[in-house]
């Protein structure tokens, strides 16, 4: 959502994040905590958070290996090499052809940077469970595996129906993420999500799979 070279957040990610305030409280009612994480310095994040009127927790991973550990950002060296690890596979670095790159450059410019810098930040979501004082990494999703995020944000805010004010139904989620952000949640092991078999998805970018491993 907000890389170190940005002067403003990604517009698409910001549109998603607008819904976080609405469903974060529902997650909290299920003993689940939502955090957004971006690589920009904390002062930048605080300024943009205030501008957008957000109240959800948003941490900076600046100076840490968090984004590298979860493959949600790439370096200039990886960019020049033309490939990087993302979404559980090696992914090519894509740049728009010269004759159509105008709209892409204009989009990147909304964040105060160029296309190459803008696309070094990638979307990802990870979930964690806290059990007996030990944090376990239970789930990660990337790319099209994050499509469910739109459903969370579109259905989580309060709305009016037929003149009656109604709260949206409680949302259960393993977490969400936006470009350059890893959003994590912690909770008891009973809140862990059963992960669908990736083979059930008919698109190669629909990979959603658990990352089992030792405690963190």
| Total tally of structural domains belonging to the chain | 1
- For residue 150, what is the DSSP state? H
Show the tokens assigned to 21.
């305030």
45 found inside a domain: yes
- For residue 199, what is the DSSP state? G
The rounded distance, in Å, linking the Cα atoms of 76 and 4 is: 13
What does the pLDDT read at residue 171? 30
55 found inside a domain: yes
What is the domain extent for residue 174? 11-209
pTM of the model: 0.69
The rounded distance, in Å, linking the Cα atoms of 95 and 74 is: 14
6 found inside a domain: no
2 found inside a domain: no
pLDDT surpassing 70 at residue 40: yes
Bigger pLDDT: 215 or 118?
Answer: 118
178 found inside a domain: yes
């Amino acid at each position: 959502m907000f890389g170190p070279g940005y002067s403003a957040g990604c517009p698409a990610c910001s549109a998603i994040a607008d819904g976080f305030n609405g469903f974060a409280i529902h997650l909290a009612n299920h003993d689940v905590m939502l955090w957004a994480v971006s690589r920009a310095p904390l002062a930048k994040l605080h300024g943009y958070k205030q501008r957008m009127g957000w109240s959800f927790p948003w941490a900076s991973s600046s100076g840490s290996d968090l984004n590298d550990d979860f493959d949600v950002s790439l370096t200039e060296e990886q960019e020049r090499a033309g490939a990087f690890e993302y979404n559980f596979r090696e992914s090519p670095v894509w740049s728009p052809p010269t004759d159509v790159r105008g709209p892409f450059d204009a989009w990147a410019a909304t964040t105060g940077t160029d296309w190459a810098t803008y696309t070094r930040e990638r979307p990802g979501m990870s979930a964690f469970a806290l059990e007996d004082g030990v944090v376990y990494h239970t789930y990660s999703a990337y790319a099209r595996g994050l499509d469910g995020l739109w459903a969370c944000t579109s259905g989580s805010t309060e709305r009016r129906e037929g003149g009656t004010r109604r709260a949206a139904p409680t949302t259960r989620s393993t977490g969400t993420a936006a470009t350059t952000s890893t959003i994590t949640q912690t909770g008891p092991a009973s809140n862990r999500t059963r992960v669908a078999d990736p083979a059930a998805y008919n698109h190669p970018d629909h990979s959603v799979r658990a990352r089992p491993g030792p405690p963190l």
